[in-house]
Amino acid sequence: MIKFLSQLGRYFLLLKKVFSRPEKTSVYYKQTMHELVSLGLNSIGIVMVISFFMGAVITLQTAYNTENPIYPTYLIGLGTRDSILLEFSSTIVALILAGKVGSNIASEIGTMRVTEQIDALEIMGVNSASYLILPKMIATLVFNPFLTIISINVGIIGGWLAGTTAGVITSEDYIYGIQYAFIPYYIVYSLIKTVFFAFIITSVSAFHGYYVDGGSLEVGRASTKAVVHSSVLILLFNVILTQLLLS
């Protein structure tokens, strides 16, 4: 318990350092642009691939498990839309990004720690925590909502393609289903969750990387811890945010 509280204290102290005034805005801006490409644009591919196949699977699963003639077939489209919108594109994509982006951040910062690059920054008088973490945080907070929107669209397209190709639903029914009883607030709900999850992924992973002590073995461990802790926190906050936003 004491160890947990001590770690929690270190985490918040790190955040305080991260959000202190940047030394030079132009350098931070350049670094943020670099991180937008590295953590944002470079994640589009994996998000699209996973969203497409998940959308396809959700449609097929819904179709094969609701074969009762009482249910109109357009409900398959509705089910796919709501599954993607409410949970998949925010939570599942965040879990995937915790693996990809989180391990990337923890190993990058951890390697910088063990090779004394962070010490080199400190010696120069640079706030290393802010310089290394803040641009990553801004980049993910700004870009992850776009990833969620891309994921929603690609997932729904994947569902349509799989459903119509497999012959479980007609194109008209699917399109009617995804428009039926649509609640726009669900998009807001999904984007709010995405922003929270982006913060968790970046801050928790950066925390584990920043405080690595040792060598390459510890960097690997920190990377694993970053993914595990981020994932657990994403699931925990998913419950809390769902209760707060949908109740």
- When the beta carbons of 78 and 132 are compared against another protein, the nearer one is 132
Residue 157: HSE in the Cβ half-sphere, 13 Å Cα cutoff = 11
Residues 204-223 that bind another protein (CB under 8 A): none
**Amino acid identity at 178:** I
Rounded to whole angstroms, how far apart are CA atoms 21 and 26?
A: 13
- Min separation Cβ 117 and another protein, Å: 5
- Min separation Cβ 45 and another protein, Å: 21
Residue 36: HSE in the Cβ half-sphere, 13 Å Cα cutoff = 11
Cα 162 to its chain centre, rounded Å, is: 25
- When the beta carbons of 123 and 183 are compared against another protein, the nearer one is 123
Residues 22-61 that bind another protein (CB under 8 A): 23-24, 27
Closest CA to 77 of 55, 107, 102: 55
Rounded to whole angstroms, how far apart are CA atoms 200 and 233?
A: 7
Residues 80-139 that bind another protein (CB under 8 A): 111-112, 115-117, 119-120, 122-127
Q: How many CB atoms lie within 10 A of CB 142?
A: 15
- Min separation Cβ 43 and another protein, Å: 18
**Do the beta carbons of residue 128 and residue 121 sit within 8 Å?**
yes
- Min separation Cβ 157 and another protein, Å: 36
- When the beta carbons of 45 and 125 are compared against another protein, the nearer one is 125
- 204, with CB counted inside 10 A (0-12, 13-18, 19+), is buried
- When the beta carbons of 10 and 24 are compared against another protein, the nearer one is 24
- Min separation Cβ 132 and another protein, Å: 11
Provide the residue count of the chain: 247
- When the beta carbons of 117 and 224 are compared against another protein, the nearer one is 117
From the list 21-29, 94-102, 164-172, 223-231, the region that binds another protein by CB under 8 A is 21-29
- Min separation Cβ 11 and another protein, Å: 18
Which residues form the interface with another protein (CB under 8 A)?
Answer: 23-24, 27, 111-112, 115-117, 119-120, 122-127
